[in-house]
A and B are shown apart, each in its own frame.
Chain A
Amino acid sequence: MTTLDITSPGPQATPGDAVLSFEDLTVTFGTDFGDVHAVKGITLDVRPGEVVALVGESGSGKSVTSMTALGLLPGNARVGGTVRVGDKDVSKLDGKGLRQMRGNDVAMVFQEPMTALNPVLTIGDQLTEGLQLHGIAFGKQAEARAAELLRMVGIPEPERRLKQFPHELSGGQRQRVVIAMAIACDPKVIIADEPTTALDVTVQADILDLLRSLKEKLNTGILLITHNMGVVADMADRVAVMLKGDIVEMGTVEQVLNNPRHEYTRRLLAAVPRLGVTSAAPLVEDHTEELPALDLRNLVIEYHRLGKPAFRAVDDVSFQVGPGEIVGLVGESGSGKSTIGKCALGLIPAHSGSVSILGQDLTKLRGKELKALRKRIGVVFQDPSASMNPRLPVGEVIAEPMVVHKIGDDRSRRRRVLELLDAVELPRSFYNRYPHELSGGQRQRVSVARALTLEPELLVADEPTSALDVSVQASVLKMFTNLQERYRFACLFVSHDLAVVDMLAHRVVVLQNGEIVEQGLREDVLHNPREEYTRRLLAAAPVPEPVEQRRRREERHALLLELGDEIAELHVEDGYERPGVDLPKGHNPYTTIDGPGV
């Protein structure tokens, strides 16, 4: 594959001043089934104060590329070509040299802040560890420096936070701690591997603001690995698009996102769901006469905790899903949207209120009646690899509901499975394949087929596409819409992605902290939101269009100011001392207060 380098012929940097450069990098993994070429000769560099986005879908080799810079690949990997961090050649470093380089010259911001932090150590211990290992500060000095770092990334009350454990912080604050750890030794370059994928959209916007100020104020180079084109548009100066271990296109963010040259980049961009662009099917006919498929009235769900008052996950929620209607349930993590989905499936009990499905109260049914009702509900879960029994072949996975409800004999079941495989656009030969042999999108298709086996009248889809790549997501959503038009099932579509909901749903329900903020027709809620929270959500979703995204970012900042919030940024004062220089005791020049919410 040839690389289309459309970088503008501006002032070309000499290789010497790049803080991170890959030259003809190849990575090969030796496996039981022969060699796997994960990276096939890519050349890329990151200069100081520059954000280079490495974009690609899962399996394209972007994370493997970044790992070579830290020398963190597993033992069965072979690396060819050269990787330079500053003036050091990573392949020539021994164990000690690598350890010195990590943290000092190059640092990493991981995807999932909860797993990147050690749950049994305090934030302070984890922050000072790096400082002490690299001999930058010790004891009291290290603590002072750690508090200073936390203040820089905008965590209020840093001295108190130092003594806390990771689980006491929110997701966004944890990611700020991870960023503080990354900048602790003032690295020349930071590798951010999907730094916001695990975060909510409003938190994502804050973290991106923080990362942006990092490059502006500390002149750090950032290699940003992401699959989210909106994040790219928001952050990157230059973009490299990876496909199957190769860079297929490289250029400035405007060039790549606005004028993509390579076929793959164009397809990738076309697949990104955009708010307000798509036109979902018109609202189905008025169904007020018929029984709603799902009717929630004053639903309260509580989780009981030992020795503590019960946690109210869902508080007084009422809404209906009419027959043949898709209702999008949106909200950030912790808003209770998945809990409602599970309750509608009868997997968790309601504390009070009623859950009626097709006119029957789910909470009052037991045994046989419950089983009979479940026959009429289908479910699609978020992660197709987790929601399928890995020991059963695809054919059995799809046939399972028929076996459970004793419908048909082996032959009719087989016929039905083949029919469903056709319906979800999978080849019939998949009948005997196992889930691990399928790609994520294919697995999710199987999962949809299983949900439709018994022709349910209500389908509960819990984030069915959020684990999928954007192009796969587009095709699964398209198939989903077609199936819905064909089978006319009612659907409760739980999602955090407003653009996806905008593509499918007829009506939208917005949740925050277990309560309904706003509900109504899709056009009203998503295009003319009345509530402040909905406006915030909409403003935070990035679009894959650099100029437009800049405008949206400014709009969002204006909105935040209007609402009295602060904009997340790195708090560095003029007198900021680079580490390595002796810090005066109790040196504490930073007195900024950060906005709430994260």
Chain B
Amino acid sequence: MSDIRNTAPHGEDFEPVPGAQSIDVQGGVGAGHLPPEPLPTEDKSYSQTQLVWRRFLRHRAAMISCAVIVLIVLVAYSSIGVGPIPGWWDKTYLATYDKIGTGSPTLTHPFGQDAIGKDYFAMTMRGTQHSLFIALGIGVLSTILGTLVGALAGYFRGWVDSVLMRMTDVFIVIPLLVIAAVLGKMASSWGIWGLTLILGAVTWTGLARLVRGEVLSLREREFVMAAQAVGTSASRIIVKHILPNAVGVIIVNATLAISSAILLETALSFLGYGVQSPDTSLGLLISQNQNAFATRPWLFWWPGLLILTIALCVNFIGDGLRDAFDPRQTRKD
């Protein structure tokens, strides 16, 4: 068998011209082409998803980032618990404790204490919980909205496209921070759910444009035409044929949306429009303690470091996914 490509995986010999059966249409013609796409040589069927997954698992930075994120999530939720369920950390983020010295990190309070003696570890964990929840919520919501709008606009074009895209333009021309601040203030009575919904509803625009572009090019592909020629309905073509092929763009941008949502929530809380005291978030903690930076720097550093770590990790995962979905970016070994 040819060792250039695994084109006859079972070695079945059915071509009338036996010597030529394992020769592929894409392999040799064209100039400056890439090496034949790496394909599995063992007798196993890999779907595209499996190939992507393989490449993702080999992306070192993304794998380390995944581990760090999982660790942060586990610690944040298990330490102080969620709602009525208690965690393994014996202090709460609301109670005040006797201040030990200046409140700098000690064994009892590993992250230190704030000005009135609250346990800063519990507060930071609570803030991390909120920030993660909001970020993930915004990421998921804006991805769903953006995909929907983009897919409809791109597939149907015409007036549907015009209406949806002009609507997108309206969202884009208003500065995100302003609209988020105004709506966030209005929704603050609904707690972090309201904030998540509102922010998700204004951050889908970028993805909508990307998905629209992708769908516009995918809808001209022959397999879509083939599906149309059989009589496939528009909804089935979008869901079954187009979106699975745009999933790379969507997933990659969802991760990037999550990391920018963390920063957006932080910025809003810092400005006082996001999560309201006495509840807390990482951005709010920084805002409350910005004056303490010189005297009690730990109050600034712990939430700051967490924001940095989470945003960085999510970005690395996005990077890894992009590399995994785009096999042309082969690494030079």
Contact = CB atoms under 8 A, between A and B. Distances in A.
Given A36-B3, A387-B226, A400-B230, A437 B23 contact: no
15 contacts: A29-B35, A32-B38, A33-B40, A34-B41, A59-B28, A59-B36, A63-B33, A67-B32, A264-B19, A347-B229, A391-B47, A404-B233, A434-B45, A434-B48, A472-B23
Given A29-B36, A388-B223, A404-B230, A432 B29 contact: no
B15 A472 contact: yes
A501 interface: no
Interface stretch (B5-13, B64-72, B95-103, B252-260): B5-13
B43 to A, nearest CB: 10
Interface of A: 29-34, 36-38, 56-64, 67, 72, 74-77, 108, 110-112, 116, 193-194, 197, 227, 243-245, 263-264, 267-268, 270-271, 342, 345-347, 370-371, 374-375, 377, 379, 381-393, 400-401, 404-405, 425-427, 429, 432-434, 436-443, 447, 450, 454, 460, 467-469, 471-472, 474-475, 478
B29 A63 contact: yes
A75 B49 CA distance: 26
A59 B222 contact: no
Contacts of B223: 386-390
A75 B222 CA distance: 32
B29 A111 contact: yes
Given A57-B20, A425-B14, A63 B4 contact: no
A58 B231 contact: no
Interface of B: 2-10, 12, 14-41, 45-49, 54-55, 58, 221-223, 225-233, 236, 240-241, 244-245, 330, 332-333
Contacts of B34: 74
Contacts of A447: 226
A51 B24 CA distance: 26
Contacts of B46: 434, 437
Contacts of B9: 433, 437
Contacts of B3: 36-37, 244
A62 to B, nearest CB: 6
Interface core residue of A32, A56, A377, A392 (most chain B CB under 10 Å)? A32
A67 B30 CA distance: 11
A437 B45 contact: yes
B47 to A, nearest CB: 5
B26 A385 contact: yes
Given A263-B19, A472-B25, 4 more contacts: A34-B41, A61-B4, A454-B230, A475-B16
Contacts of B332: 75-76
A59 B27 contact: yes
Secondary structure at the B interface, as helix, strand, loop or mixed, is loop
Given A63-B30, A193-B31, A434-B47, A267 B4 contact: no
A432 B108 CA distance: 59
Contacts of A440: 24-26
B5 A439 contact: yes
Contacts of B58: 32
B19 A36 contact: no
B264 to A, nearest CB: 33
B15 A471 contact: yes
Contacts of A270: 17
CB-based closest 7 A-B pairs: A440-B25, A59-B27, A31-B38, A439-B7, A374-B231, A387-B222, A471-B17
Nearest to A391: B244
B231 A32 contact: no
Contacts of A30: 333
A77 B15 contact: no
B14 A404 contact: no
B31 A58 contact: no
A441 B15 contact: yes
Contacts of B24: 58-59, 439-440
A475 B4 contact: no
Contacts of B229: 345-347, 374, 377, 379, 460
